Structure 1
Amino acid sequence: MQALEKPISFDEFIAWYPENTGIRYELHNGVIVEMPKPRGRHSRASGDLAFDLGSAIRQAKLPYFIPKECIVKVLDQSGYEPDIIVLDEIAIVDEPRWERESVIERAASIRLIVEVVSTNWRDDYLTKLAGYEAFGIPEYWIVDYAALGGKRFIGDPKTPTLSIYTLDESGEYQFKQFRGNDLIESPTFPNLRLTAGEVLDR
Structure 2
Amino acid sequence: MSQSIAPVLAEQQIDTSPTLTFEEYRVYQGEIDVKYELYKGKLIPMPTATVLHIKICEYLVYQLQRYLAEHNLDLVVKTGLGVRTDEDKSRIPDVVVCTQSLLEQAAARPGAGILEFDEKPLLVVEVVSENRRADYVIKRAEYELANVPEYCIVDPKNGKQKIRLFALIEGEDGYTYTDFLPGEEIVSVVFPDLILSVDEILNPPFVEQLVKAENAQLQELKQEATAERQHAEEERQRAEEERQRAERLAARLRELGVDPDTV
- For normalisation by structure 1, the TM-score amounts to 0.84
Once the two structures are overlaid, the 10-residue window that deviates more, 120-129 or 6-15, is 6-15
* Equivalent residue letter for 1:146: K
Compared with structure 1, are the counterparts of its residues 34 and 4 closer, same or farther at alpha carbon in structure 2 (3 Å cutoff)?
farther
Letter in 2 for 1:88: T
* 1:192 maps to which of 172, 191, 194: 194
Q: RMSD value over aligned CA atoms?
A: 2.2
Pair 1:120-2:121 in alignment: no
Counterparts of 1:133-144 in structure 2 under 5 Å? Answer: 133-144=144-155
Is the alpha carbon distance of 1:112 and 1:37 closer, same or farther for their aligned partners in structure 2, counting shifts above 3 Å? same
In structure 1, the gaps of 5 or more residues are: 148-157
Q: Indicate the SS of the match to 2:196.
A: coil
Question: Structure 1 vs Structure 2: percent identity of aligned residues?
Answer: 27
Higher strand proportion: 1
Q: In structure 2, what is the equivalent of residue 151 of structure 1?
A: none
Task: For 1:117 and 1:74, locate their aligned partners in 2 and report how far apart those are by CA, in whole Å.
Answer: 19
Question: Structure 2, unaligned stretches of length 5 or more?
Answer: 1-14, 205-263
Residues 88, 109 of structure 1: 8 Å contact kept: no
Cα 1:178–1:196, aligned 2, differ >3 Å: closer, same or farther? Answer: same
Aligned to 1:86, which of 88, 97, 103?
A: 97
Shift of 1:91: 4.9
Q: CA deviation at 1:120?
A: 1.2
Structure 2 Cα separation of the partners of residues 168 and 188 of structure 1:
10
Letter in 2 for 1:22: D
Aligned pairs, number: 188
Q: Normalising to structure 2: TM-score of the pair? A: 0.66
Could you list the runs of 4 or more consecutive aligned residues of structure 1 that deviate by over 3 angstroms after TM superposition? 90-93, 106-109
Question: In the alignment, which residue of structure 1 is the partner of 2:108?
Answer: 99
Deviations 1:97-153 (A, max 9, x none): 442341201455411000000011111111110000001000000000115xxxxxx
Q: 1:73 to 1:171 in 2, by over 3 A?
A: farther
What do the CA deviations read for 1:61-108 (whole angstroms, capped 9, x no partner)?
111101242211111111001100001124556x4x442341201455
Secondary structure of the 2:27 match is helix
Which residue is 1:64 aligned to? 75
Structure 2 distance, partners of 1:129, 1:4, is 27
**Preserved contact between residue 102 and residue 115 of structure 2 (Cα < 8 Å):** no
Q: Which has the higher contact order (CA 8 A, sep 6+)?
A: 1
Q: Which amino acid aligns with 2:163?
A: L
